[in-house]
Amino acid sequence: MRYKTSKLIATVFGLGYAPIAPGTLGSLAGLALVIAVHSNLSLYITLFVLLFAAGVFTSAETEKAEGKKDPSFIIIDEFACIFAVFLFVPLSWPAVLTGFAIYRVIDITKIQPLRKLEKLSGGWAIMLDDLAAGIYANLALQALLYFGVI
């Protein structure tokens, strides 16, 4: 039973089984939640921490049960870590679209040292590279906003 619950959360209620771009869909679903709670900073941070912790645990359980390293249907990492992109960023449609695009490019290309984080084991490996991608995207977005590019 614990495995089924973990898999349900790790796949964001089955969204991870989408035939095309499950990680991007997970990010979009997370973005919808980001937009919904962004105006309440304490709720935003609390959800982020809880989702990240749940991601570490459920992705490790699911990966172990499936016998595959970071299977593509585990998307809790994209869902949770998009919160890092928009932390302390004023939301506007240009910021949302730009932040989302930067996050996906960084997450997909795994620029260094993100690839090294994948060498960790279990849920930490799955979650930390996406967290780092979110932090990188946040810094890039903050710079673009600061310099008035968006």
pLDDT (tens digit per residue) in 47-97: 999 999 999 999 999 999 999 988 999 999 999 999 999 999 999 999 999
Question: Looking at residue 133, what is its pLDDT?
Answer: 97
Average pLDDT score over residue span 8-30? 97
pTM, to two decimals:
0.95
Name the pLDDT band for 115 (thresholds 50, 70, 90). Answer: confident
Tell me how far apart the alpha carbons of residues 11 and 55 are, in angstroms, rounded to a whole number.
10
Max Cα separation, the chain? 51
Q: How far apart are the first and last CA of the chain?
A: 47
Question: Looking at residue 59, what is its pLDDT?
Answer: 97
Check whether 118 has a pLDDT greater than 80: no
Question: Looking at residue 1, what is its pLDDT?
Answer: 58
- C-beta of residue 137 within 8 angstroms of C-beta of residue 99: yes
Question: Looking at residue 150, what is its pLDDT?
Answer: 93
Question: Looking at residue 89, what is its pLDDT?
Answer: 98
Tell me how far apart the alpha carbons of residues 31 and 86 are, in angstroms, rounded to a whole number.
9
pLDDT (tens digit per residue) in 102-112: 999 999 998 88
Mean pLDDT rounded to a whole number for the chain: 95
Question: Looking at residue 3, what is its pLDDT?
Answer: 84
